[in-house]
Amino acid sequence: DTEVTQTPKHLVMGMTNKKSLKCEQHMGHRAMYWYKQKAKKPPELMFVYSYEKLSINESVPSRFSPECPNSSLLNLHLHALQPEDSALYLCASSQVRAFGDTQYFGPGTRLTVL
Amino acid sequence: QKEVEQNSGPLSVPEGAIASLNCTYSDRGSQSFFWYRQYSGKSPELIMFIYSNGDKEDGRFTAQLNKASQYVSLLIRDSQPSDSATYLCAVTDSGGGADGLTFGKGTHLIIQP
């Protein structure tokens, strides 16, 4: 089973709202990732959690706040977003291997900021 | 700054023919290489990964890696209309820790029936 789940599938929010995206995996993976994908562009890395600790933060604005409550769950808290933050937000997980550390993606949350 | 280059296409291939997708990368420290397929509006789906020089085959797909030339390719044999999608090449330099993927811009592949 290589399933990563994400909720919600779609989210529309105003610039003053606070919302959260959720991601879950039950594959025993020890790394989880957030990516942002704009239309007709490749995914761009935002954050990496390895063994429940934030290991990579790609200079993402503070209006995006990640949280990893346990090894199976990953949240992305959103606050005071801008319309240009509208995108597909993808969660992924991997085992953490030296070579071929395959990342499996969830279906994504399509976010629209009004 | 790692860079991954792909021809954006579209690459049009007749059904049943071989589709050849290419990718070059800038960082010689890159260790693992991945091909993902992405249908419009969907998330990336892993096709194959490779980390040793040479060829790796899985069904109709063959990945090829040449680290000296910093070149990765994906061959799709007996192409089917369902193979029509964007193919993303991605690299990591993970040496044991979790590392994010750096993606190319993707090649849009069209299989003509």
pLDDT digit string, tens, across residues B37-56: 999 999 999 999 999 999 99
Q: Could you report the per-residue pLDDT of A8-41, keeping only the tens digit for each?
A: 999 999 999 999 999 999 999 999 999 999 999 9
Average pLDDT over residues A5-10: 98
Q: Work out the number of other CB atoms within 10 angstroms of the CB of residue A26.
A: 12
Chain A residues with CB-CB distance to B43 below 8 A: 88, 90, 105-108
d(CA A30, CA A24) in angstroms, rounded, equals 12
Flag if B99 and A42 touch (Cβ within 8 Å).
no
d(CA A43, CA A24) in angstroms, rounded, equals 19
Flag if A96 and B98 touch (Cβ within 8 Å).
yes
Flag if A90 and B44 touch (Cβ within 8 Å).
yes
Partner residue facing B49 (CB), from A88, A102, A106: A102
The residues near B100 (Cβ < 8 Å, ≥ 6 apart) are A33, A35, A45, A48, A56, A58, B92
Q: Could you report the per-residue pLDDT of A36-60, keeping only the tens digit for each?
A: 999 999 999 999 999 999 988 888 9
Flag if B99 and A90 touch (Cβ within 8 Å).
no
Burial class (CB in 10 A: 0-12, 13-18, 19+), B32: buried
The nearest CA of chain A is from the CA of B107 a distance in Å of: 10
